[in-house]
Amino acid sequence: MVLIRKNALKFILNASKRTYPREFIGLLRGGPDIIEEILLIPRSLFGDNFSVIEFNMKPIDPSIIGSVHSHPSHSYEPSDADLRFFRKMGFIHLILKYPYQSIEDIATYDMNGNRLPLHVLEDVVNIKKDDDPRNPWK
């Protein structure tokens, strides 16, 4: 099972909508089974039925765990090119399909193209001690 923070989920859904009909692409940052945020790489190309990341622009960053990209169609099945890319770029990969409305429009894969379950992790809001309604000294 892979977890994704709600803000990261909203970001990729909105980025995919705004890029449509071109493909959106980015990298995933987080831990072994949690997607914390999305990293956009300079000079990435969002094309018609393809997307490209400039590997020489990718930072040396151990928190990069995989990739995300959108398909401008109703399929989130990985192509042969997607599968080759998966093996080069981490161990968790997301593909979004049109219309990019919810988590139901996202498929999660491991580096070998096997499907993984994806669940949303609600973002935790840190309450300062002074803002805590239970604080009797307020």
23 is a catalytic site residue: yes
- Please enumerate in sequence order all residues whose Cβ is within 8 A of that of 134, keeping only pairs 6 or more positions apart, or say none: none
For tokens 């009797």, what's the residue? 136
Is residue 114 helix, strand or coil?
coil
Pick the catalytic residue: 23, 37, 54, 122? 23
How does DSSP assign 22-83, residue by residue? SPPEEEEEEETTEEEEEEPPTT-EEETTEEE--GGGS---TTEEEEEEEESSS--PPPHHHH
- Known catalytic residues? 23
